[in-house]
Amino acid sequence: MNADPPTHRACPYCNELISLEAKVCPRCRQWLTWRSLRNPLAQSLFVVLPLMLGCGALLVLAANRFQRVFLPRPFYSEVPGALAVRESWLNWVETTNGPRIYVTGILTNRSDLRWRDIEFECRFADSSGRMVDAAHGRTFMTVPARDDAAFRVAVTPGRPSSADYHSHEVRVTTARSSHSAF
Ligand SMILES: [Zn+2]
């Protein structure tokens, strides 16, 4: 009767009888242990996997950067009251192409963001305070953070008489934050 513990076993890949201690099958060269970085499977777990995770993290960072450039935030609607018209004046001017209204003014930026491509809404009222005309104007200006900037909006009046434009009101409807690509 043979009570000696077994010293050999069959390779699970090629069935060759090999030493129990063998890490690599001498016949088919398959790695038989997990506990070695030279095992291709262990390599894929401890080297390739972390590498892939690293690349994944880089991709997420790149996507984030892309979003910041091409889908800029915050939008103007997310920063209420960022731009306020401090003062404004209305000038009725007769040009060779007919009458024009020039609304000029000073814009105050109360936010920490730079704004550009500012869109204004102008409302005009007669002497009784009734709104008689309205217009939107877009200016390609930039207002630095916590600063002022002068603006001018040119409007073609919808009414023939300057007497109808007794008073006006102008406010910012939208603008783009400065790191916007578009
Ligand atoms: Zn083998």
Ligand 1 mean position to 32 CA, how many Å? 9
pLDDT of 6 reads: 84
Ligand 1 mean position to 48 CA, how many Å? 25
Q: Which residue has the tokens 């783009």?
A: 176
CB 10 within 8 A of CB 30: no
Of 40, 70, 100, which residue constitutes the final position of a domain? 70
Q: Residue 23 pLDDT > 90, yes or no?
A: no
Look up the domain containing 134 and give its range: 76-177
**Sequence-separated (6 or more) residues with CB below 8 Å from residue 181:** 69, 70, 72
Of 54, 70, 86, which residue constitutes the final position of a domain? 70
pLDDT of 182 reads: 43
Q: Which two tokens stand for residue 97?
A: 């192409």
pLDDT of 125 reads: 96
Please tell me the pTM assigned to this model.
0.59
Pair (80, 66) in one structural domain: no
What is the number of domains present in the chain?
Answer: 2
Ligand 1 mean position to 39 CA, how many Å? 14
pLDDT of 140 reads: 87
Q: Which residues surround ligand 1, an ion (CB under 5 A)?
A: 11, 13-14, 16, 25, 27-28
CB 157 within 8 A of CB 132: no
Q: How far is it, in rounded angstroms, from Cα 25 to Cα 14?
A: 9
